[in-house]
Amino acid sequence: MDHVFSGVTKFQKEVYPSKKATFQKLANGQNPEVLFITCSDSRIDPNLVTQTEPGELFICRNAGNIVPPHSNQTGGMTASIEFAVAALGVSHIVVCGHTDCGAMKGAINPEGLDSLPHVKEWLGHCRAATDVVKERCGHDKLSIDDLEAVTKENVLQQIQHLRTHPAVAAKIATGQVELHGWVYNIGSGDMLCYSSETGDFITMDQSEAEARFKRANAAE
C-alpha cells in the first residue's frame, strides 16, 4: 500500500501541475465521447491501453464486462449506461473483454462457483455466450480450451444486451451511437475488434484505425 500513497504524492507534486489547465477545465464538467465498459481485472487500464486523457472515457467496470439486459430493476450498470448516453451524450460505446479472464473461466465452469453465490448469479448474464459456444462446438460441456471463444462471444452478447436499454436503442435508431466489441490481449498488447464485415475479431492495427477514422468522418 505504501506505493499507492507515494503515487498520490507524486501525482500532486509532478503530474497535476503539468496538466493543471486540463484538470481545472474538468472541474466544471465532463464531455466524454466514449462509454468504455470493461472488466474489473487489475491488469486492465483503459486509459493506458487507449492512450486517452482524463475526461475522454466514461468508464464502467465489473467482473466479466457484463451489461445486464434492461429491466425494471435498477442497478449500477443500468443507471450508468442511461446517464452516459442520455445525459452525457456519448457517441460510442465499447465493450472490451480480455484474455485470461477469471469471470469467463467461472462462466465456463459455474459448478466451481458454489462458494461464491453472488459471482455465480452475476455470471448468469454470460449464459448466452457459453450456450452459443457449446452449440458451435457440438458438445455439452466447455473446458479451458474454449476460453478464447467464450470471451469473444461474451463481448458480442453484452452488446446485444446494450441494445435492450431504451436510451441506447433510441440513439442507435437515430445514428447517434455506435457500438464496438473489443478483446484485449494482455500478453501481446494486441487489441482485437469485431468486424461486422468479416463476422470475426480482427487485430486493430494502424491501417485499421485509420480506415475506421475515415469511415466515421464520412458518416458525419
The reply to whether 39 sits in an annotated binding site is: yes
The reply to whether 96 sits in an annotated binding site is: no
Q: Evaluate whether 153 touches 132 at the Cβ level (below 8 Å).
A: yes
Q: Evaluate whether 202 touches 195 at the Cβ level (below 8 Å).
A: yes
C-alpha span between 35 and 66 (Å, rounded): 13
The reply to whether 41 sits in an annotated binding site is: yes
The reply to whether 45 sits in an annotated binding site is: no
Task: List b or e across 157-196, with b for residues whose CB sees 16 or more CB atoms inside 10 angstroms.
Answer: bbbebbeebebbeebbeeeebbbbbbbbeeeeeebbbbee
Query: Annotated binding site, which residues?
Result: 39, 41, 98, 101
- Binding site for Zn(2+), by residue number, is 39, 41, 98, 101
